[in-house]
Amino acid sequence: MDRSGAVTDASSIYLDSPVLESGQSIAESDSVVFGSAVPNSAMTVEAFETLALQNNPTIAELVATTQKAAGYRTQVSLRANPSIGYQANQLADLGTDQHTFYISQTIVTGNKLALNRSVLDHALRAQLQHLEAQKYRVATDIRIKFFDTLAAQRRVQLIQDFQSVANKGLEFAELRKQAEEGSQLEVVQAKVLKNEIDLQLRQAIARFNAAWKELAALAGTPQMPPATLEGELPQVAAPMDWNTVAASIVVSSPEYQAAQARVSQARALICRHEAQPIPNLDVSFGSGYDNGTDNGLINLQIGAPIPVFNKNQGNITAARAEYVRASREVERIENSIKARLASAAGDFDASMAAVEQYASDILPNAQEGLDLAEIAYRAGETSYVQVLVAQRTYFETNLQYIAAQALLGQARARVDGYVLTGALDPIVDNSGDDSLRGLTFSQQ
């Protein structure tokens, strides 16, 4: 084969081969797991959310914590059990002994039991809101990591596509050199590009596998083998009025509502402690027989502590301080939500601008530059190195576009999830206790 024939064949193999198709999803290909056996089923973000809500341990922890709060609420509102007993008097004085059976009961005054229940009602509502907030944290983290893993999947796909182009480019450079129409420099340049692409592919596969493991761990199924992710990276998003979004998120956030419930709990606790000095009544009623008079007898005793020294003033002061603390906590959470939303809004607007710019200008220009370089090369107006430069630019531009899409999806996930994250953060047990019941009956 003559030189022109060799070059023409190589050119048809290399320059006419498909380059990068940024719209193609890896879900459309046959491979799923990179470097291992591949299952056929695809995983959506909804499937991961379902798995996470079923298996994430923090959800189960908060369910148990909520059940504890419900148990304490029941316990603190229960009345005292009555006491029954037997009493004998003058047993050593023959014929004058008295035998009495009695029943005693503590009568709680000041509506303390209802106030106890009111305090724990608010504690239970706060726990329910904490549980709801944790569900959003789990769902948000799942969506954030899903977009990260989906982007890693797309990067592997794009690098694999470009790897075939780089391989053909090296083959083409070697054919040109053999035909004495190219130089060793072109071969070396093609080898460098191929080696770089091979390295990037290995790194991309490693990052995908790591992202998958993190996603599976967030879902509570760390042993799940990698599978295809089915989904689309966002390509466009509507602009948002962040002032309106901030106002809406603050009032409807379960995190904020839990803080409001704690304020109501603190207010109810003040009322409860103010009722504590009202003395309970200890009533005892007995009935028996007096052998000395050969008649029946009835005993009645009523007693109550006198709040002279202990008027519960310390607990009242502490409850008022807790109310101030809970109110400030609401302010802190409101500011925290707005600060986190500001960060998410900045990421959203910046990534949306990047996605729009890449889709409307940068990618088309990179494609046009690649097309012009190939046309110029066929016409003999430029060198093969310029084609390599154009292809590298187009390849890197596609990778940057994927990164911008992933950031846009992650920012939107944070906004939709009330900027709540931390699916595996430690759970704080705020279920309370039943100490109010002991305080109710001790009267001290």
Sorted by where each starts, the structural domains of the chain and their CATH numbers stand as 3-442 (1.20.1600.10)
Structure confidence at residue 127 (pLDDT): 96
Instruction: Map tokens 């005292």 to a residue.
Output: 80
Residue with tokens 């940068």: 362
At 237 the pLDDT is: 79
Q: Is the pLDDT of residue 177 over 80?
A: no
Residue 40 has pLDDT above 70, yes or no: no
pLDDT at residue 329, rounded to an integer: 97
Query: Given this model, what pLDDT does residue 22 score?
Result: 38
pLDDT of residue 206: 95
pLDDT of 34 over the 70 cut: no
pLDDT of residue 28: 39
* Cβ-contact 167, 66 below 8 angstroms: no
Segment 82-96 shows an average pLDDT of 84
Q: What's the rounded mean pLDDT across residues 194-202?
A: 89
Please report, rounded to a whole number, the percentage of residues in the chain having pLDDT higher than 90.
Answer: 67
Residue 322, pLDDT score = 97
- How much is the pTM? 0.83
**pLDDT confidence band for 17 (50 / 70 / 90):** very low
Half-sphere exposure in the Cβ direction for 388 (13 Å, CA): 22
Q: In angstroms, rounded to a whole number, what is the distance separating the alpha carbons of residues 33 and 321? A: 57
Cα–Cα distance measured from residue 127 to residue 138, given in angstroms and rounded to the nearest whole number: 16
Confidence (pLDDT) at 26: 35
For all residues of the chain together, what is the average pLDDT? 87
Q: What is the mean pLDDT of residues 99-119?
A: 94
Give how far the C-alpha of residue 142 lies from the chain's centroid of Cα atoms, to the nearest Å.
7
19 vs 436, higher pLDDT: 436
pLDDT at 30 over 80: no
Residue 95 confidence (pLDDT): 77
Report the pLDDT averaged over residues 387-393. Answer: 85
End-to-end Cα, the chain, rounded Å: 108
